[in-house]
């Protein structure tokens, strides 16, 4: 029986069974590479505490879409807070910029704010608010202690308010304009150094266009009651501001619109609407006036006027600075002036009262006005405002006779407006000037000349008296009376009934006839010069008419 021989071939053929492992290996490599390339970044977020955070359960959401998961929660190295490690999705890595914000969302119930009720069922979560900036991928963040009231990219204007007394104003309170809600208070903090409350507020668009440099903010919380000559006045806001608090803004009475403001501009928060009305201006500058007269009756807060127009107020009498300067001069020179130092008065000038914008630019303009006005005679004087109380005020005006051309000086770093005497003092100065001229006049020589003139006049009067007592002067009235009688008789001879008058009248008539004949002769000679020799021509004889 024949034996079968094996069929041997060169090399080893590929076994198809290896296709499955190779496909699995390729798929595994692809999945690893794809996972590596599409894996989201891992970030850390610092929190004040771990309230609402749970590793493996707490999610990170953006627009209510899950974009990450908290994988670990641990204490910080200084044990002052916690750090949560979060695994973020790959497609949101471009949103992780330096100003991106995170905060924990939990259920919150307050007097004016109820939010996060959905977390009662789903649990707390971390909300992400992408920043508006750009930059490289950021992996470390600090969470906000409280949820922000306004999104970072919301259109509008963020401002700061500063107030010393804030009566129930807190985060979340509304910002009102004429009773309409246009914004909100986002945060509050106490400034320990200045002992003031600071508020961050946000005005929604398009109401941010209502904000300018002349706007004033005041507290509308509660009820404001004031009594005056017009009776009892009660001012309240809306019911929610009465109960919960709020801030209103607007232009005080008589205030003109100002210039636009930038974000984060600081405004003062007034205690009430009346307080905002009393101090409507923000921009101003200080000047000093040094008086060489009594300042009795000039109190802080007294008005400063320019020709009757209010331009500011008196801040204080600078007695402390005056004493310090006196001591400095005494130490440097060893002596002080014997005439005493003028009393410096610090004034606060508000350019907004001249219908200028309530800005620092108007302040610089006012300083230039003072610098050019002082050489031209701009002066300040103390005037009497009330005769009964003796209250005084400062009046500014131009005095051309005092324009000396000298530039404005400074004192203690403040510009100095030269002082002019008050009305009473100016009268006294003029009286003293008159008396000085009288004292300088040659009174003795004038009196001697007057005595000489009086003596000469006395001699003249004596000579006149002797002449009147002369006998010839005594008979003069009788001679004058005889002369007047003779003149009367002469005039009687010229009366209409007298003979002389009738002869004179006949002579005048004869003269008139003679003048008439002379006039006729003159006319004839004018018409016919030879009429004296040749008789006058007769008219021609009439010619008979032919029939």
Q: What is the DSSP string of 368-434?
A: HHHHHHTTTTEEEEEEES-TTT--EEEEEEE-GGG---PPPEEETTEEEPPB---HHHHHHHHHHHH
Among residues 388, 417, 435, which one ends one of the domains?
435
461 and 319 within one domain: no
What is residue 160's DSSP assignment? E
pLDDT at 207: 93
In a domain, 72, yes or no: yes
Record the pTM. Answer: 0.48
Residues 264 and 165 in one domain: yes
Neighbours of 43 (CB within 10 A): 21
Encode pLDDT of 159-191 as tens digits. Answer: 999 987 666 788 888 999 988 999 999 888 888
349 and 245 both lie in a single domain: no
Residues 399 and 415 in one domain: yes
Written as six digits, the tokens of 396 are 């500014």
**Nearest Cα to Cα of residue 111 among 240, 25, 250:** 240
For residue 95, give the DSSP letter: G
Q: Is residue 533 part of a domain?
A: no
Residue 4 lies in a domain: no
Segment 365-405, tens digit of pLDDT? 999 999 998 998 899 988 888 777 778 899 999 988 888 88
Cβ-based burial of 347 (10 A; exposed 0-12, middle 13-18, buried ≥19): buried
Kindly state the tokens that stand for 439: 């004292």
How much is the average pLDDT of 466-483?
Answer: 73
Higher-pLDDT residue of 434 and 20 is 20
Question: Are 263 and 300 found together in one domain?
Answer: no
Q: Is residue 534 part of a domain?
A: no
Same domain assignment for residues 358 and 409: yes
**For residue 27, pLDDT beyond 90:** no
Q: Could you tell me if 477 and 405 lie in one domain?
A: no
Token pair for residue 62? 């953006």
Are residue 273 and residue 290 in the same domain, yes or no?
no
Sign of torsion, CA 497 499 501 507?
A: positive
Do 117 and 73 fall into the same domain? yes
CA distance 305 to 312: 7
Q: Is residue 190 one of the residues assigned to a domain?
A: yes
Query: Does 257 score more than 90 pLDDT?
Result: no
The residue out of 225, 257, 278 marking a domain boundary is 278
Confidence of residue 520 (pLDDT cuts 50, 70, 90): confident
- CB proximity list for 67: less than 8 A, separation 6 or greater: 60, 61, 88, 89, 91, 92, 128
pLDDT bracket for residue 229 (50, 70, 90): very low
Question: What is the distance between the alpha carbons of residues 482 and 474, in angstroms, rounded to a whole number?
Answer: 15
Query: Which range has the worst mean pLDDT, 146-150, 340-344, 434-438, 454-458?
Result: 434-438
Listed residues 246, 278, 310: the one ending a domain: 278
- Residues 449-472: pLDDT tens digits? 788 888 888 888 787 777 777 766
Same domain, 118 and 254: no
Q: Which of 4-8, 50-54, 482-486, 513-517 has the highest mean pLDDT?
A: 50-54
Query: 115 or 122, which is more confident?
Result: 122
User: According to the model, what pLDDT value does residue 493 have?
Assistant: 67
Question: Which two three-digit tokens encode residue 160?
Answer: 């700061």
Contact between residue 247 and residue 175 where contact means Cβ atoms under 8 Å apart: yes
Averaged pLDDT for residues 119-138: 80
The total domain count for the chain is: 4
Residues 6 or more apart whose CB falls under 8 angstroms from that of 279 comprise 270
pLDDT at 4: 59
The parent domain of residue 478 ranges over 445-513
Are the C-beta atoms of 173 and 157 separated by less than 8 Å? Answer: no
Mean pLDDT of the chain: 79
For residues 88 and 31, which has the higher predicted lDDT (pLDDT)?
Answer: 88
For residue 492, report the phi and psi dihedrals to the nearest 5 degrees.
-65, -30
CA atoms of 472 and 396, how far apart (whole Å): 78
Residue 362 belongs to a domain: yes
Cβ atoms of 44 and 141 within 8 Å: the answer is yes
Per cent of the chain over pLDDT 90 is 19
* Percent of the chain at pLDDT exceeding 70: 76
Q: What is the pLDDT of residue 336?
A: 64
Through-space distance between the first and last CA atoms of the chain, rounded to whole angstroms = 218
Instruction: Please tell me the predicted confidence (pLDDT) of residue 12.
Output: 58
DSSP letter for 345, please: E
| Most confident of the following: 240-249, 296-305, 424-433 | 296-305
Neighbours of 255 (CB within 10 A): 19
What pLDDT score does 45 carry? Answer: 95
- Flag whether pLDDT at 254 surpasses 70: no
Task: Give 230's pLDDT tier (boundaries 50, 70, 90).
Answer: very low
How does residue 361 score in pLDDT terms, banded at 50, 70 and 90?
A: confident
Same-domain pairing of 113 and 53: yes
Q: Do 65 and 110 belong to one domain?
A: yes
- Identify the pLDDT of residue 37: 60
Indicate the range of 143-157, 162-176, 431-445 predicted with least confidence: 431-445
Residue 26, in any domain of the structure: no
Q: Report pLDDT for 114.
A: 58
Q: Is residue 440 part of a domain?
A: no
């Amino acid at each position: 029986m024949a034996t079968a021989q094996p069929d041997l071939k060169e090399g080893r053929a590929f076994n198809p069974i290896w296709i499955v492992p190779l496909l699995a290996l390729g798929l595994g490599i692809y999945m690893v590479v794809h996972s590596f390339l599409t894996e989201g970044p891992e970030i850390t977020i610092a929190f004040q505490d771990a309230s609402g955070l749970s590793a493996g359960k707490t999610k990170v959401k953006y627009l209510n879409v899950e974009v990450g998961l908290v994988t670990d929660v641990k204490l910080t190295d200084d044990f002052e807070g916690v750090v949560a490690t979060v695994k973020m999705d790959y497609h949101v890595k471009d949103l992780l910029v330096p100003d991106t914000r995170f905060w924990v969302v939990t259920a919150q119930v307050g007097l004016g704010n109820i939010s996060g009720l959905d977390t009662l069922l789903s649990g707390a979560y971390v909300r992400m608010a992408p920043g508006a900036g750009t930059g490289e991928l950021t992996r470390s963040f600090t969470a906000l202690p409280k949820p922000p009231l306004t999104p970072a990219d919301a259109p509008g204007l963020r401002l700061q308010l500063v107030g010393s007394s804030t009566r129930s104003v807190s985060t979340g309170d509304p910002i009102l304009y004429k009773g309409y809600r246009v914004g909100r208070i986002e945060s509050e903090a106490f400034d320990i150094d200045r002992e003031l409350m600071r508020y961050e507020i946000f005005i929604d668009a398009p109401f941010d266009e209502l904000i300018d440099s002349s706007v004033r903010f005041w507290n509308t919380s509660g009820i404001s009651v004031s009594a005056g000559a017009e009776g009892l006045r009660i001012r309240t806001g809306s019911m929610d501001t009465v109960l919960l608090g709020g801030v209103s803004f607007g232009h005080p009475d008589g205030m003109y619109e100002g210039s636009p403001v930038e974000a984060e501009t600081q405004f003062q928060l007034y205690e009430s609407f009346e307080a905002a009305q009393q101090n409507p201006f923000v921009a101003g500058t200080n000047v000093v006036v040094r008086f060489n007269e009594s300042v009795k009756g000039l109190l802080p807060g007294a008005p400063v006027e320019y020709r009757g127009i209010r331009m500011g107020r008196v801040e204080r009498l600078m007695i402390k600075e005056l004493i310090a300067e006196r001591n400095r001069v005494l130490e440097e020179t060893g002596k002080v002036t014997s005439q005493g130092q003028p009393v410096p008065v610090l004034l606060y000038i508000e350019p907004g009262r001249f219908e200028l914008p309530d800005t620092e630019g108007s302040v610089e303009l006012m300083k230039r006005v003072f610098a050019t006005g002082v050489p031209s005679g701009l002066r300040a004087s103390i005037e009497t405002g009330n005769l009964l109380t003796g209250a005084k005020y400062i009046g500014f005006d131009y005095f051309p006779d005092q324009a000396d051309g000298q530039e404005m000086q400074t004192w203690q770093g403040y510009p100095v407006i030269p002082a002019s005497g008050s009305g009473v003092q100016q009268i006294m100065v003029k009286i003293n000037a008159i008396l000085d001229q009288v004292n300088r006049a040659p009174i003795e020589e004038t009196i001697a000349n007057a005595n000489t003139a009086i003596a000469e006049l006395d001699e003249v009067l004596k000579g006149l008296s002797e002449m009147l007592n002369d006998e010839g002067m005594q008979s003069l009235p009788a001679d004058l009376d005889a002369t007047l009688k003779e003149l009367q008789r002469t005039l009687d001879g010229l009366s209409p009934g007298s003979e002389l008058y009738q002869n004179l009248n006949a002579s005048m008539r004869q003269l008139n006839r003679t003048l008439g004949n002379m006039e006729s002769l003159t006319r004839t000679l004018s018409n016919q010069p030879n009429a004296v020799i040749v008789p006058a021509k007769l008219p021609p004889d009439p010619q008979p008419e032919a029939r």
